[in-house]
Amino acid sequence: MVPHLVTALTGPINELEQRIIDSMPATERWFRLEWMEHTPPFYTSVDIRNAGFKLAPVDTNLFPAGWNNLSEPMLPLAVQAAMAAIEKVCPEARNLLIIPENTLRTDLSYLHNVAQLERIFRMAGLNVRIGSIDPDLREPTRFTLHNGHTLLVEPVLRTERRLVLRDFDPCTILLNNDLSSGMPGILEDLHEQNLLPPLHAGWNVRHKGTHFACYDDVAKRFGKMLGIDPWLINPLFAPCGEVDLTDPHGLDGVRHQVDTVLTRIRRKYKEYGIHEKPFVLVKPDNGTYGMGIVTVHDAAELDDLSCQSRKDLNHLKGGQPVSKVIVQEGVLTQERIHDAAAEPVVYLMDRYVVGGFYRMHQERGVDENLNTAGAKYVPLAFDRSTHLPELGKKPGMSAPNRFYMYGVIGRLAMLAASYELEATDPLALDS
């Protein structure tokens, strides 16, 4: 279920890309064996950067929005994956309740994402309703979308043991709310209802450092199987622990880790004859929407951060303060759409790649975070040419099949998230 898609790049496949495509049978077997041992997250999106010499994930979201940015031809893949995912969790599933973010009144584009999720699961054969945990939404409210369609959102009700709507009792609850603002008590201690993803996947407790430590393990194991240096698919990183961004000396530990990671990158660049200038991203250890991320080429730049940059670094979704950061190797992007820097975002459900899109930003550079205000989204479209390789050529060689590589990297990040959720499951820790 990995589609062959046209991407923004049409040039020759480089050595890393070729190795991944040539190893397709071994790669798919490796993933099958992994999924026999580990349960994938219910759904995932992965931001990927392709520097030409390196291809790596830079962020993994377990509550993905943006489903409306996938192209229409991808919808059947999403529906099939939704059917498989639901069947695995609850074969008798009939009613599904989707809980969105509390930003419905202020973010119309997010409403389109919720409407697309509702559409996908309806087509998968479920009765679907949208229930909000926003305390300000007290009555059923119908929102009008850009396309003229409407979306009904109803306030949830909590009984002693279950989460319901006024005339709707779901067996499965799908969170599309990443819990950045904290854990709402209304979601705790539910009985006989499947809550997906689990509460410990929320950004109120999840840490990027934990995820990328798990990804480091996955990349080493996959690199050994593929016979490549895992650095080629793995961004170096270092956790910084507690920081105080309001204190002039609060970044001392961050400076040390910036120097450490930059030194490691320079060694790798020298090893591979890469002449680009290395850089790192200083980002919050939790949080999403690309908030609070600063590009740094030298530790001394931290001394010159403006008050606005410090404020941005200390600002998370939901107004949560930043207490921990990580320093992550920066990965350039070679992708371009109309001369704008772009990066692929891969969407997965259960263990299947179901599509993706390019995030592009006209005002951002190739070494900057693109997940900011002003970003635009271009769906990846199916290749309209033949899906079969030309005679005498190996699979994937009739045209550059970069989306297969992106699907591989996305699945590696999803597998790392599986490791992460297993390691942080409070039930497993208690036992």
pTM above 0.85, yes or no: yes
Give the residue among 371, 282, 290, 280 at the shortest CA–CA distance from 324: 282
DSSP 330: -
Q: Are residues 236 and 345 in the same domain?
A: yes
Distances (CA, A) of 113 to 118, 219, 322: 9, 31, 27
Q: Which of 204, 223, 258 is the last residue of a domain?
A: 204
Structure tokens at 92: 């008798």
pLDDT at 288: 65
Over the stretch 72-127, which tens digit does the pLDDT of each residue have?
Answer: 988 999 999 999 999 999 888 999 999 999 988 778 889 999 999 999 999 999 99
Q: Are residues 270 and 410 in the same domain?
A: yes
Q: Residue 418 is inside which H or E element, if any?
A: helix 402-424
Query: Per-residue pLDDT averaged across 135-143, rounded?
Result: 94
Between residues 189 and 397, the one the model is more confident about: 189
pLDDT at 155: 96
Q: Are residues 81 and 138 in the same domain?
A: yes
Residue 431 included in any domain: no
Residue 429 included in any domain: no
Nearest 5°: CA angle at 149, between 147 and 155?
130
Residue 430 included in any domain: no
pLDDT at 305: 65
Tell me whether strands 172-175 and 141-144 are parallel, antiparallel or unpaired: unpaired
Cα–Cα distance between 253 and 240 in angstroms, integer? 6
Over the stretch 302-340, which tens digit does the pLDDT of each residue have?
Answer: 877 655 555 556 555 555 667 788 999 999 998 888 888
pLDDT band at 392 (very low <50, low <70, confident <90, very high): very low
Residue 245 included in any domain: yes
pLDDT at 357: 92
Residue 13 scores a pLDDT above 60:
no
Structure tokens at 242: 């507690």
Residue 151: give the domain boundaries.
70-204
Q: Are residues 215 and 266 in the same domain?
A: yes
Residue 75 included in any domain: yes
Q: Are residues 360 and 402 in the same domain?
A: yes
Give the residue among 362, 72, 62 at the shortest CA–CA distance from 206: 62
pLDDT at 401: 67
pLDDT at 383: 53
Query: Per-residue pLDDT averaged across 421-425, rounded?
Result: 95
Give the residue among 158, 159, 129 at the shortest CA–CA distance from 142: 129
Rounded to the nearest integer, the mean pLDDT of the chain is 86
Give the residue among 272, 251, 256, 288 at the shortest CA–CA distance from 110: 288
Sheet holding 324-329, edge to edge: 237-242, 324-329, 280-284, 294-296
Give me the percent of the chain exceeding a pLDDT of 90: 62
Whether 336 and 8 have beta carbons less than 8 Å apart is answered as: yes
Q: Are residues 273 and 326 in the same domain?
A: yes
The per-residue b/e assignment along 21-60, b for 16 or more CB within 10 angstroms, e otherwise, is bbbbeebeebbeebbeeeebbbbbbbbbbbbbbbbbbbbb
Name residue 306's amino acid. S
Distances (CA, A) of 119 to 42, 68, 249, 417: 17, 10, 51, 26
Structure tokens at 6: 């046209």
Q: Enumerate residues 6+ apart whose C-beta is below 8 A from 61.
A: 44, 45, 46, 47, 178, 288
Over the stretch 186-229, which tens digit does the pLDDT of each residue have?
Answer: 999 888 899 999 999 999 899 999 999 999 999 999 999 999 99
pLDDT at 182: 85
Residue 54 included in any domain: yes
Give the residue among 327, 322, 328, 326 at the shortest CA–CA distance from 245: 322
Q: Does a cis peptide bond (omega within 30 degrees of 0) precede residue 197?
A: yes
DSSP 141: E
Q: Are residues 25 and 170 in the same domain?
A: no
pLDDT band at 399 (very low <50, low <70, confident <90, very high): very low
Q: Tokens 């994930």 belong to which residue?
A: 57
Nearest 5°: CA angle at 10, between 401 and 78?
40
Residue 21 scores a pLDDT above 50:
yes
Q: Are residues 355 and 299 in the same domain?
A: yes
pLDDT at 246: 66
DSSP 277: P
Residue 428 included in any domain: no
pLDDT at 11: 54
Over the stretch 331-389, which tens digit does the pLDDT of each residue have?
Answer: 999 888 888 899 999 999 999 999 999 999 999 999 999 988 899 998 876 554 333 33
Residues 222, 228, 234, 236, CA torsion sign: positive
pLDDT at 126: 97
Q: Are residues 412 and 318 in the same domain?
A: yes
How many domains would you assign to the chain?
A: 2
Q: Which of 177, 204, 231 is the last residue of a domain?
A: 204
Q: Are residues 274 and 393 in the same domain?
A: yes
- CATH code for position 185: 3.40.50.11280
Query: Per-residue pLDDT averaged across 219-246, rounded?
Result: 90
Cα–Cα distance between 307 and 250 in angstroms, integer? 14
Query: Per-residue pLDDT averaged across 391-398, rounded?
Result: 39
pLDDT at 220: 98
Whether 385 and 399 have beta carbons less than 8 Å apart is answered as: yes
Query: Per-residue pLDDT averaged across 49-75, rounded?
Result: 93
Q: Which of 154, 177, 204 is the last residue of a domain?
A: 204
Residue 394 scores a pLDDT above 50:
no
Query: Max CA-CA distance within the chain?
Result: 65
φ/ψ of 145, rounded to 5, equals -90, 170
Q: Are residues 226 and 340 in the same domain?
A: yes
Query: Per-residue pLDDT averaged across 155-168, rounded?
Result: 93
Structure tokens at 316: 């998370």
Residue 244 included in any domain: yes
> CB count, 10 Å around CB of 424?
18
Q: Enumerate residues 6+ apart whose C-beta is below 8 A from 209.
A: 237, 239, 285, 324, 326
Structure tokens at 199: 């509460």
Q: Are residues 395 and 327 in the same domain?
A: yes
